[in-house]
Chains A and B, each alone.
Chain A
Amino acid sequence: MLIFLLKRVGVVIPTFFGVTILTFFLIHIIPGDPILIRTGERGLSDERYAEMRAEMGLDKPLWKQYVTYITGVFSGDLGKSITTQVPVIDEFFTLFPATIELSVCASILAVSIGIPLGILTAVRRGSFFDYSVMTVSLTGYSMPIFWAAIMLILVFSVNLGWTPVAGRMSAMYWVERVTGFMIIDSFLSEEKGAVLSALRHLILPSIALATIPLAIVSRMTRSAMLEVLNEEYIRTAKAKGLSPFKVIFVHTLRNALIPVITVIGLQVGTLLSGAILTETIFAWPGIGKWMVDSISRRDYFAVQGGILMVATIVIMVNLLVDILYGVINPRIRHR
């Protein structure tokens, strides 16, 4: 188990440095003068230009610049946003809770619906139920989620008027920021009805974001269940006279969940990709929208820092999933 852990961590470290090299060069390969891009200023005097060049260390050799960059990264310095002059890392952590809130809700939806559907379709394989769920699931998997989001707004907000169109909280309420998670903050606030408003704002974006992970989780659960159901130890379980319920929920599910959990973990990337589109459409103030806005503002420090942070998060989550895989799989846990 220890060797397994060390191996995983050993793979993660070079990957992380690889990402830093990638983000470091991102700014260098952008066409145009790096100073003009970084400062966003026009009509600099020659002296000021040279001064800035020295200030930013651009006169030093490339590897020295990288060392400066990576030292900064480790002390939490990702540079300042060109547009707001706020440190990128602060901006990131201000917006990050909104994205977590949305992604966690979407994951809960995807897992709590996807796994039971996968189990049911596997048990009733070949039935009309199985066929229809799998068709719907493939449709969800093929969904352009920005369009799904638009359609949800069209039906539930515009036509039915059940849910708000955008944002995280109705303007009627004043909720003070404590944790950054709107549901928790609205609980803490004195405002009545704020929690409900937060939930109403959360529901459509969560559904939109959950569409693809839900399809993936249900399909994956189904195929993992089907595979395990064919195993000989399932026949042994039946030969013991166990009830069908126990055979499915104890013996089959326990084994089928091992690959399913891995797949769920890998959905972090899908979720963050989806968050970019979902947040843009629902004007959700999270990092996905922030990245898109930063790109259109040509705020390259924000883009650079954002990519590094997102990649780090994905790498860490994947590492956690790998470790979890080792923990739930006895074949790895016990040597």
Chain B
Amino acid sequence: MSSEWPLWEVFIRGQHGLNHRHVGSLHAPDAELAIRHARDVYTRRNEGVSIWVVPSAQITASAPSEKGPLFEPANAKVYRHPTFYDIPDEVGHM
């Protein structure tokens, strides 16, 4: 018999003002119970102020093999960084 509960990805906001961050996954029959389980599994020591759960099957991820085409173009664009530009000392902090 396999009626395994579906898998959910859990995201927790650690403190007010921070992003929700992926902390792990768990099995639950529905979203409501996924939140309750996430409370028990991932916030036993006040680790969070808010929880998101998302069905794992709903997540689309980039393929590791696409790492080059996806991210390498940014490598060549050094002019996007402030350190690319020389500002004379006399100008002061900028």
Q: Do A and B bind each other?
A: no
| A residues neighboring B (CB under 8 Å) | none
| B residues neighboring A (CB under 8 Å) | none
